[in-house]
Structure 1
Amino acid sequence: MQSERLLGSEDPPVFRIVNPAGRSAVLLTADHGGRAIPRCLGDLGLSDRQRASHGAWDLGVDGLGLLLAARLDAFLILHNYSRLVIDANRPPRAPDSIVSHCEQSAIAANVTIGVAGRQRRLEELFHPYHRRIAAELEARQAQARASVLVTLHSFTPVLDDEVRPWHVGVLHGRDARLASRVRQGLQRERGLRVGDNQPYAVSDASDHTLVVHGEGRRIPHVELEVRQDLLATEAGRRAWAQRLAGVLEAALAEGLPPLPDGPASVG
Structure 2
Amino acid sequence: MTSPLRTSSIGLLTGGDPPPVGLHNGEASSPFLIICDHAGNAVPAALAGLGLPQSELDRHIGVDIGILGVSKGLSDHLQAPLIFQRYSRLVAECNRRLDSPSFMTPISDGTLVPANQDPAADDRQARIREIVEPYHAEISGRIDHRLAAGLPLILVSMHSFTPSLRAAPAPRPWHIGLCYHHNRHFSDLVLDELAHQRDLVIGRNEPYGVNMAEDYSVPVHGEERRLPYVEFEIRQDLIADASGQAAWAERLAPVLSAAHARLAMESGR
TM-score normalised by the shorter chain: which range applies? over 0.9
User: Which residue identity lines up with residue 169 of structure 2 in the other structure?
Assistant: D
Task: State the alpha-carbon separation in 1 of the partners of residues 15 and 53 from structure 2.
Answer: 25
SS of the equivalent of 1:253 reads helix
Q: 2:105 aligns with which of 81, 99, 106?
A: 99
Report the equivalent of 2:63.
57
Report the equivalent of 2:216.
208
Q: Tell me, yes or no, if the aligned pair for 2:22 and 2:83 is still in contact at 8 Å.
A: yes
User: Which residue identity lines up with residue 251 of structure 2 in the other structure?
Assistant: R
With structure 1 as the length reference, what TM-score do the two structures score? 0.93
- Residues 204 and 218 from structure 1, CA distance in 2 versus in 1: closer, same or farther, beyond 3 angstroms? same
Task: State the alpha-carbon separation in 2 of the partners of residues 109 and 234 from structure 1.
Answer: 32
Task: State the alpha-carbon separation in 2 of the partners of residues 187 and 56 from structure 1.
Answer: 31
Matched, 1:152 2:162: no
Task: State the alpha-carbon separation in 1 of the partners of residues 126 and 244 from structure 2.
Answer: 38
Q: 2:184 aligns with which of 176, 191, 194?
A: 176
Task: State the alpha-carbon separation in 1 of the partners of residues 97 and 236 from structure 2.
Answer: 24
1:128-139 equivalent positions in 2, closer than 5 A:
128-139=134-145
Q: Tell me, yes or no, if the aligned pair for 1:50 and 1:102 is still in contact at 8 Å.
A: no
Q: Tell me, yes or no, if the aligned pair for 2:164 and 2:170 is still in contact at 8 Å.
A: yes
Q: Tell me, yes or no, if the aligned pair for 1:46 and 1:105 is still in contact at 8 Å.
A: no
Residue 22 of structure 1: how far off its partner (Å): 1.0
Matched, 1:2 2:6: yes
SS of the equivalent of 1:222 reads strand
Residue 41 of structure 1: how far off its partner (Å): 0.5
Residue 194 of structure 1: how far off its partner (Å): 0.4
Task: State the alpha-carbon separation in 1 of the partners of residues 148 and 109 from structure 2.
Answer: 45
Task: State the alpha-carbon separation in 2 of the partners of residues 136 and 105 from structure 1.
Answer: 36
Matched, 1:228 2:236: yes
Residue 141 of structure 1: how far off its partner (Å): 1.3
Task: State the alpha-carbon separation in 2 of the partners of residues 148 and 103 from structure 1.
Answer: 32
Matched, 1:239 2:247: yes
User: Which residue identity lines up with residue 120 of structure 1 in the other structure?
Assistant: A
SS of the equivalent of 2:226 reads coil
User: Which residue identity lines up with residue 6 of structure 1 in the other structure?
Assistant: L
**Structure 1 unpaired stretches of 5+:** 259-267
Over aligned residues, Cα RMSD in angstroms? Answer: 1.4
Q: 2:90 aligns with which of 84, 89, 102?
A: 84
Q: 2:37 aligns with which of 31, 35, 46?
A: 31
Q: 1:67 aligns with which of 73, 85, 96?
A: 73
Deviates more, 1:56-65 or 1:102-111: 102-111
Please list the CA deviations of residues 219-249 of structure 1 after superposition, one character each: whole Å capped at 9, or x if unmatched. 1001000001110122211111011111110
Task: State the alpha-carbon separation in 2 of the partners of residues 187 and 67 from structure 1.
Answer: 22
What is the total number of aligned residue pairs between the two structures?
258
Task: State the alpha-carbon separation in 2 of the partners of residues 156 and 105 from structure 1.
Answer: 15
Deviates more, 1:81-90 or 1:41-50: 41-50
Identity of aligned residues (%): 38
User: Which residue identity lines up with residue 101 of structure 1 in the other structure?
Assistant: I
Residue 104 of structure 1: how far off its partner (Å): 3.3
Residue 24 of structure 1: how far off its partner (Å): 1.0
Task: State the alpha-carbon separation in 2 of the partners of residues 102 and 197 from structure 1.
Answer: 21
Task: State the alpha-carbon separation in 1 of the partners of residues 214 and 245 from structure 2.
Answer: 27
SS of the equivalent of 1:55 reads coil
Q: 1:40 aligns with which of 46, 52, 56?
A: 46
Q: Tell me, yes or no, if the aligned pair for 2:7 and 2:123 is still in contact at 8 Å.
A: no
With structure 2 as the length reference, what TM-score do the two structures score? 0.92
SS of the equivalent of 1:158 reads coil
Report the equivalent of 2:226.
218
Residue 210 of structure 1: how far off its partner (Å): 0.6
User: Which residue identity lines up with residue 187 of structure 1 in the other structure?
Assistant: A
